Amino acid sequence: MDEMKIYVTRIIVPDAIERLQNEFEVEVWEAPTPPPKELMIEKARECDGMMIESNDVMDSEVFAAAEKLKVVGTRAIGYDNIDINAATAKGIAIGNTPGILHESCADFTMGLILSLARQVSRSNRKVIAGEWKIFDQTPYLGTDVYGKTLGLIGLGLIGTAVAKRATGFDMDILYFSRTRKPEIENEFGVKWTPELEDLLARSDYVSVHVPLGPDTQGFIGESELATMKPEAFLINTSRGGTVDPDALRKALHEGQIAGAALDVTSPEPISKDDPLIFMENVLITPHIASASAATLRRMGLMAADNVIARLRGEKMPACLNPEAI
């Protein structure tokens, strides 16, 4: 029997690749950018398993070419880059990596809130530019975080972890979610707001923590931004597509909100000419909220374990479409 073959689309977690190599023939795409579509189609046709990143597109065209592909492991929670229905129709299991990155993302989210509030990034740029000539704090007067109102859109693992941290700042924490979560309310003192508009109107900081899908594409748009306080800030560490970029540019330009921190953009990477980059009240990072060394390694190992388990005929640690098996 021929040795099963795995295609890995990036050298990010060497330990995960080594784990796969212990059992299978492994081919690795060594460039830092995603493999071209034609190559993804070719490897879907040739391989038994694939381990991919969140910006590798696995659409119906790729899955249509699959002949013996049984599993795709993505080193991510989100799967908006994967056509789950097309995979399921071909009997291809999709594994993701839940329950790992929420603490790192929550740390980063609080960091963005603090950086926005106290103008950390802006003031640092001024120092680098040689504009710190005298002791004068007035150009950099920020806003407090302690005692302010935080609105969480989504209260999954990441949103809950942010709420936990926000309690240390004695924040009044609101959340909007399709389902009410009394246990989390009791543990962290968060308050459910059944209407999104209510949360937006009351919050000093609005943090987005929803997955990207048909129901959340452009979820924060012109009307939502107009509902926010003019002194409020928007933070997005979920997916860029959840916020309408045109509406955000307009809201910031017109002073409808005080600023924004974006770890994700639409598209990614953001254009070097995008007006958002040049706004002093906007902080943009390159999709790194989960990027601690320990978290990255654990996600890579779980993605590999999903591939290994499926090809062994064992239960996968996390499978998005068990009906495909």
Residues 6 or more apart from 245 whose CB is under 8 A from it?
A: 265, 266, 274, 276
pLDDT digits (tens, 9 = 90+) for 88-130: 999 999 999 999 999 999 999 999 999 999 999 999 999 999 9
Per residue in 225-270, pLDDT (tens digit) is 999 999 999 999 999 999 999 999 999 999 999 999 999 999 999 9
| Confidence check: pLDDT of 175 > 60 | yes
pLDDT, residue 2, reads 72
What pLDDT is stored for residue 10 in this prediction? 96
Active-site residue, selected from the candidate residues 10, 19, 239, 310 = 239
Please give the average per-residue pLDDT across 267-288, as a whole number.
97
Find the mean pLDDT for residues 21-26.
Answer: 97
Token digits of residue 215: 């129901």
Give the DSSP H or E segment for 117: helix 102-117
- The token pair at 160 is 């809950």
Question: How far is residue 192's CA from residue 151's CA, in Å, rounded to a whole number?
Answer: 10
Mean pLDDT of 41-47: 98
Q: What integer pLDDT is reported at residue 126 of this predicted model? A: 94
Q: What is the pLDDT of residue 195?
A: 97
Please say whether the structural domain 5-100+293-324 has been given the CATH code 3.90.650.10: no
- What share of the chain in percent tops pLDDT 70? 100
DSSP summary character for residue 177: -
- pLDDT value of residue 166: 98
From 19, 75, 202, 287, the catalytic residue: 287
pLDDT at 216 > cutoff 90: yes
Question: Structure pTM?
Answer: 0.92
Q: Is the pLDDT of residue 1 over 60?
A: no
Fold of 102-284: Rossmann fold (3.40.50)
User: Mind listing the pLDDT tens digit for each residue in 64-79?
Assistant: 999 999 999 999 999 9
Sign of CA dihedral 74, 77, 79, 81: negative
Look at residue 60 in the predicted model and tell me its pLDDT. Answer: 98
Among candidate residues 67, 131, 254, 268, the one labeled active-site is 268
Q: How far apart are CA 199 and CA 87, in angstroms?
A: 37
Report how far residue 286's alpha carbon sits from residue 271's, in angstroms, rounded to the nearest whole number.
12
Averaged pLDDT of the chain: 97
State the Cα–Cα distance between residues 40 and 25, nearest whole angstrom: 17
The pLDDT of 33-52, averaged and rounded, is 98
Where in the chain is CATH 3.40.50.720? 5-100+293-324, 102-284
Angstrom distances, CA of residue 236 to CA of 3, 108, 153, 174, 304:
44, 11, 10, 16, 28
* Residue among 241, 237, 257 at smallest CA distance from 249: 257
Residues in contact with 300: Cβ distance below 8 Å, sequence separation at least 6, in sequence order: 12, 13, 15, 16, 75
Backbone φ, ψ for residue 48 (5° rounding): -90, -25
CA-based angle 237:204:158, to the nearest 5?
Answer: 30
Is 268 an annotated catalytic residue? yes
